[in-house]
Structure 1
């Protein structure tokens, strides 16, 4: 496989040599700026193309930021931005040194994106070589089952979403969100779904965690359904299967006296809650990131002829709205492309929720 080495060149010769040595010792090809030779395009264009053409990127950060390009970022910073949404990225940060202010900000950005999962620290070139060897070996193990299949992942995600029976409406509009990881593989053993530790964690996080799913006023029921463990309340549920696929159902409707409204801000906040809960649950069951990518699908059920409104619009005229005894079996909603790096589920949750809200708004209003 091709491993792109991203760092400053001048002043980091020993560190770059250590990374290249580790890459080659594991049987991979090291792609570096020094190997590009004479080209008609600029060196940085060649490096960014090298990032896109590689299977993985090793990023090494020292104290200096580097010369800023026309973008206002250093070449290494540009390479990180190019890689983070496209390629697995292993980051290594040098300890015991003074950093330039721009480099401090860059390191903070990398660590926030990586969440510490693939970020290691080093002091010497020898320590860096050993750290890169360990990290690449872990990455190899995580990808041994193959590359993520975006089409397959999306099919699994949409298949998890519940559909509603036409002509039936229980008076509550719900949002179902499915998060499926890839490459597809077994994450939990069947016995783990039934053991106490996982169940206790789901009960605890579902009620009292950072983004609780359940309410205190009602008990939570648990069940095993085929290869999945399910916790549920009225109009609320969490489903987790052996492949680490997650489905969350939460209520959305707001209205009174038979007049219902789908509130845009409520939808966005509920999406954020579901995505954050899913991210935290994935970290709990797969903290070595065997599932490197996720596909997300969502569906609104029970909306019927409800009106789409903002909170301001609803507050101004709460008794205006629409009602339809027949529900619309709207198709699932998904992003394009459907597969995203798993880190996006944590670091871009607000953007993901905004994008899904826009897609739902289009779908909902086009049906009027």
Structure 2
């Protein structure tokens, strides 16, 4: 089903703004964990609290936890578990090690990663020679996987935290989706189990023309991919309202098509299906040779072929890479859910990729399948 031709991406829609009402609606009910040394950074923690509350979200801070009949270690991590976003504020000191061998900040960061929580990291400008060695390692590891933001004052931190939360809100409220070979940013996405309706403001004339062709040619089966699902669909209806010479408001109704046949999951050469999937993806994406001379099905495919060589901007590249990898795993029956995805900034021509998914469970009464983690260095796209 996958169309391997280069994708047509509505890149101009990357900067779609949110109204204050939309931002406050997103923030309502969201919890944001603030992780830092408490005694060293009172002004910075207050600044982070102000930024979080300004969008209607609830800051989760150790100062607010009150008396609990659990250890401090457990209280820290429980706050991470119930939060939607982790905000880490890292400075020169590592902090006192807990019983698990990590400082509280480091333990919270690890827990957020394991949970697949959205992560935003801010580092204060400093002379690296004055930094604790363990803190230097923590920040270096974080920078390998996340784009960190620096600050010098509490006011600057407040601005940067607010800015990053707005970016996350935009990603959540206007997700990128794929229809056929076009990728657009959805202003609204609804599904009733048999039909999917996508409303998008399209700013690319080429993308608009491709969608019109799908409608007029009554194209048959097309791939549809969102951050949560991958399906075969057929366009039922499409209406387009021209807003300007370069902007079209599209409303596209798609009919979901039944999957043809089941997906076979079996061991190959004593390698289980989940491990085989992980090794095959590693060989394709990272250039490893984990399958050695074994070749079967997906080992020859490159899920990222449709975007290679396009030099896509970072603000678009991450969600599009996630779409393509999610499509590959979900459509081929290798994953039930995509649990977490992180694509780091470019270092020496490569990016660190970490992807976790939960395989499907074919039996109702069987234990839940263990998550699968794929991690390695991806050649810069």
TM-score by length of 1: 0.52
Equivalence map 1:157-306=2 (5 Å) = 189=203, 191-193=205-207, 226=214, 268-270=282-284, 272=286, 274=302, 284=312, 287=315, 291=319, 294=323, 296-298=326-328
Distance 1:65 1:59 in 2: 12
Distance 1:17 1:61 in 2: 15
| 1:347 matches 2:352 | yes
Distance 1:105 1:226 in 2: 51
* 8 Å CA contact retained: 1:188, 1:285: no
Distance 1:87 1:267 in 2: 23
> What is the CA distance between 1:144 and its match in structure 2?
2.2
> What is the CA distance between 1:341 and its match in structure 2?
2.4
Distance 1:110 1:241 in 2: 33
SS of 1:335 mapped into structure 2: coil
SS of 2:34 mapped into structure 1: strand
* 8 Å CA contact retained: 2:33, 2:60: yes
> Which residue of 81, 105, 108 maps to 2:137?
105
Distance 1:193 1:49 in 2: 45
SS of 1:284 mapped into structure 2: coil
* 8 Å CA contact retained: 1:59, 1:80: yes
* 8 Å CA contact retained: 1:68, 1:75: yes
| 1:47 matches 2:79 | no
> Which residue of 66, 70, 76 maps to 1:37?
66
Deviations for 1:287-339, whole angstroms, at most 9, x for unmatched residues?
1578496563548xxxxxxxxxxxxxxxxxxxxxxxxxxxxxxx923235334
> What is the CA distance between 1:27 and its match in structure 2?
2.2
| 1:71 matches 2:76 | no
Larger Rg: 1
> What is the CA distance between 1:102 and its match in structure 2?
0.6
Distance 2:204 2:226 in 1: 10
Change (3 A) 1:298 1:138: closer
Distance 1:86 1:12 in 2: 26
SS of 1:296 mapped into structure 2: helix
> What is the CA distance between 1:21 and its match in structure 2?
1.5
Change (3 A) 1:95 1:187: farther
- Aligned partner of 2:118 in structure 1 is 88
Distance 1:341 1:181 in 2: 19
- Size of the aligned set, in residue pairs, is 244
Deviations for 1:335-361, whole angstroms, at most 9, x for unmatched residues?
353343243896345x779x9xxx9xx
- Aligned partner of 1:234 in structure 2 is none
Distance 2:55 2:43 in 1: 19
Deviations for 1:90-111, whole angstroms, at most 9, x for unmatched residues?
1101112431111111011111
> What is the CA distance between 1:60 and its match in structure 2?
0.4
Deviations for 1:70-107, whole angstroms, at most 9, x for unmatched residues?
32221111111111242111110111243111111101
* 8 Å CA contact retained: 2:340, 2:356: no
> What is the CA distance between 1:29 and its match in structure 2?
1.4
Measured on the aligned residues, the alpha-carbon RMSD in Å equals 4.9
Deviations for 1:186-226, whole angstroms, at most 9, x for unmatched residues?
5975534499xxxxxxxxxxxxxxxxxxxxxxxxxxxx984
Change (3 A) 1:281 1:19: farther
SS of 1:89 mapped into structure 2: strand
